[in-house]
Every structure is written in C-alpha cells, then in structure tokens.
Amino acid sequence: MAPRAIITGAAGLIGQYLVKTAPRWAPEWDVRGLTRADFDLTDRPNVERTWESIKPSAVIHCAALSRTKDCEQDPKKARCINVESTAYLAKLSQGIPFLFLSSGEVFDGRTGWYSESDEPNPINVYGQTKLEAEQTVLQNPGHTVVRIVLTAGTSQEGDRSFVEDMCRTAKAGKDVTLYADEFRCPLPAGVIARVIWELVNRKQPSLYHLGGSERLSRWEIGEALLPWCPELKGYLKKGSARNHVGSPRPTDLSLCYDKIQSLLSFRIPGFREWLAGRSRRGTDLWDYLAP
C-alpha cells in the first residue's frame, strides 16, 4: 500500500499545487489534501480523529495565517494558528517526516541574500510567529523547515497569490503601487511544489531557503508581468518603501538557495527567465516545469 502524505492548507496556493502536481512529481505517495473545513488545526479532537483515520507517513504543513495585515490586527489568532497549531502537529508527527513551510519574513530585510546561517530578526507579527514555529519544528532532527518569500500562482478563489491581488486591484480600476526599492526573489507555485516533492523524497531533513535566482524589485516584477496580465496596463505606479504606511515590511528578502539547489534534479529559475520560457497555450502559466 502506498505511503500516505497529508498536505495541510490544501485550499491555499502552494497546498493546491502540491496536491495537483503529486501524480507527476510524487506518484509513489497517496496524497490527502486537507482544508480547514476537514482539518481545523484549532479543533484538537477533530485533528486527532482525522490523524488516526488517515495514519500518515509524512506531513507537509502549509496551513497558516499568512496575510501580514491579518497577523498585525490579531496577534493572538496568528500565534494560535502559526505557532501553537504547528507545534501540536509536529508533536503528532514525532516519528515521521514533517515539512513546515516558513517565510523569509523571519528576517528584517536590511541586507538581502540571506543564507540559512544568518540570524533571524523579524519586524512583524507574521515573521515572529513563523520563527517561533520553526524553532519548535527543528527541535526534532527528523523534521524540515523551508523558507519561501513570494509565490505566483492561480488559486481556486482567485485571492491567494500576489499576482491575483494585483490583477484584482487593477480590474477594480485602482492603481497598483509597487516599490522600486523593495526586493524579493519570487517563484511560480508549480516550481515550489516540485522542489517540495523532491525534498520529501530525498529524506534529508534540515532548514532550507527557497527562492528564485533573480533578485527583483516589486516594480520590476510588475513590469515583467505586463505581457501576461494586460489588465495591469495603465495601473502600475512606481513608489518607494520609504513612503510605506501600514504593517512593517522588510525591504530586501532575497534568499540564498544554494543548499536546497544542491539536492535537486533541476535548476531553480529566475522569475523573468520563467516567464520568458513559458507558453500561455493549454497550461497554467505557473504550473510545473518541463521534464
């Protein structure tokens, strides 16, 4: 019988791609994608019943309160979901592989190109909760943490990726202000899904960084998207992080990904490189890489 893998947060962006790409990148696994409706991590009795019913051989934990603004507005809820629920699930997974998706937001963004050995220093509630969760997960030497930054993709509800947020704003007739001095290393969700499945099958638990090979400003990202998202035309406005109002945002969250790259069967692309090599016909733009 095939080993079973649980994917939490299966209605989220990366969770969706992990489930739909499993037949291609992880055919040896019996994958169970669980949404909040059937696996509410704050409902411990229900989690235990589901756990006993499925009896997983591995867990990929994607579920989180991931909107920075939501975390700032309700720190208690953010801690409950991002820290306490992660710790509980990691405890249930004590004797099996457990992969936790974390964030580059654990850094303050002052330098960029962060490696796994750099000291975290979160400046917002989301980053702080992710860091606390990491520390709990990594107490088990058989467990893994993967930090990511910015993911492009198409979700079921159209409200999960930064690309969808931008397009929705433009369609509403509103300007999309993008900072020319805020940097990220975005990746398509399909690439992240393939990396995660390869990492699960490699069985080398550790802390890893995963980002694209290009460090791009938010403004450069928007410009790169124009041929693919024509609805953005005329609505992109160049701004500066110096004028930012709202939840604290790290300036530069580019990640050094050499450690994880050394384990993979393919080269992690840059965002503009990915776009340049894709065809819009018959496939999701953000889906998996060619073999």
Residue ranges of domains in the chain, CATH in brackets = 4-153+186-212+253-269 (3.40.50.720)
Residues 118, 125 contacting (CB under 8 angstroms): no
Residue 63 has pLDDT above 70, yes or no: yes
Residues 106, 130 contacting (CB under 8 angstroms): yes
Residue 74 has pLDDT above 70, yes or no: yes
Residue 62 has pLDDT above 60, yes or no: yes
Looking at residue 102, its pLDDT comes to 98
User: 30: which residues sit within 8 A by CB, 6+ positions away?
Assistant: 1, 2, 3, 4, 5
Tell me what the pLDDT averaged over the chain comes to: 94
DSSP codes of every residue in 145-200 = EEEE--EE---SSS-SSHHHHHHHHHHTT--EEEETT-EE--EEHHHHHHHHHHHH
Residue 92 has pLDDT above 60, yes or no: yes
Looking at residue 280, its pLDDT comes to 54
Residue 166 has pLDDT above 80, yes or no: yes
78 token code pair = 């953010």
Residue 116 sits at the vertex; the CA angle it makes with 115 and 118, to the nearest 5 degrees, is 70
3-state helix, strand and coil shares in percent for the chain, rounded to the nearest 5: 40, 15, 45
Whole-number percent of the chain with pLDDT over 90 = 88
**Model confidence at 291, in pLDDT bands (50, 70, 90)?**
low
- Give the orientation angle of helix 218-225 with respect to helix 162-171, to 10 degrees: 70
275 token code pair = 């776009």
Residue type, 129: T
Q: Any bridge partners for residue 238, and if so which?
A: 178
Looking at residue 214, its pLDDT comes to 96
Provide the 3-class DSSP secondary structure of residue 39.
Answer: coil
149-173 average pLDDT score: 89
Lowest mean pLDDT among 36-45, 129-138, 248-257: 36-45
C-alpha span between 175 and 168 (Å, rounded): 11
Provide the 3-class DSSP secondary structure of residue 84.
Answer: helix
- Residue 84, number of CB atoms within 10 A of its CB: 16
**Model confidence at 281, in pLDDT bands (50, 70, 90)?**
very low
Residue 284 has pLDDT above 80, yes or no: no
- H/E stretch holding 137 reads helix 125-137
